[in-house]
Homo-oligomer: A and B are copies of this chain.
Amino acid sequence: MNLRALKPPHETRTRILDAAEELFMQHGFEATSMRQLTAKAGANLAAVNYHFGSKDALIAAVFQRRLDAMNTARIAELERLEKEAGGRPLSPRQIIGAFVGVSLRMIEDAKGGRNFIRLLGRTYSDPQKEIRSLIGRLYAPAMERFKAAFERALPQMPREELIWRMHFMFGTLAYTLAATDTVQLIAGCKPEDRYDARLLEARLTAFLEAGLLAPLHGAADVKKAA
């Protein structure tokens, strides 16, 4: 009989991924050594190279494990809303909520989700080109899907402007999640508030929706003048 379920097939593999997630978040990729990583995972130094091949492959695996699930969840939520709406285009707020919600739902997960979300936020601007392109590839399907949804919701908005505003929205989300305990550039912000995901979600969504729906003429004027 098959008792695989009793002892997970890739126990140390998973422990390594979890340890990597946390250490990469805390210290970055380069500053995290294989020795401290395997020590934290309770594994041998050679275990990473055995299970993943190299440190770089481990980094890729860390992102793949979570990002695939996240973007699948995003698309599923979007399609659920679309089915619910029955043919009619969704509201911008609904689309924003589907995208932002998944991130914030994950940051509420104390296990490892929070570590990953922060790691992800700071990796968007990682100097290493390979890492960035990997993330871009993992995001691509969801991005195409959401872009299409926004185009349907905002048919009057120029495509180029929409892309920029999606870019701004994405940046706001990324920075907000990455910086949840980092730079306190603006004094007076109580850290306790930062983990009230409900309140943060409402604030963030209101900000993003307003930005997305900002009047057009400002940029249009500049373009006409140029």
Contact = CB atoms under 8 A, between A and B. Distances in A.
Interface of A: 25-28, 30-31, 121-122, 124-128, 132-133, 135-136, 139-140, 143-144, 147, 159-161, 163-168, 170-172, 174-176, 178-179, 182-189, 193, 196, 198-199, 201-216, 218-219, 221-223, 226
A189 B164 CA distance: 8
A182 B122 CA distance: 13
Contacts of A147: 186-188
Contacts of A143: 185-187
A226 to B, nearest CB: 7
A164 B190 CA distance: 11
Total identical chains: 2
Contact of A211 (B196, B208, B215): B208
B187 A167 contact: no
A170 B175 contact: yes
Of A28, A187, A203, A222, the most chain B CB neighbours within 10 A belong to: A203
Contact of A176 (B26, B167, B184): B167
Nearest to A161: B203
A168 B135 contact: no
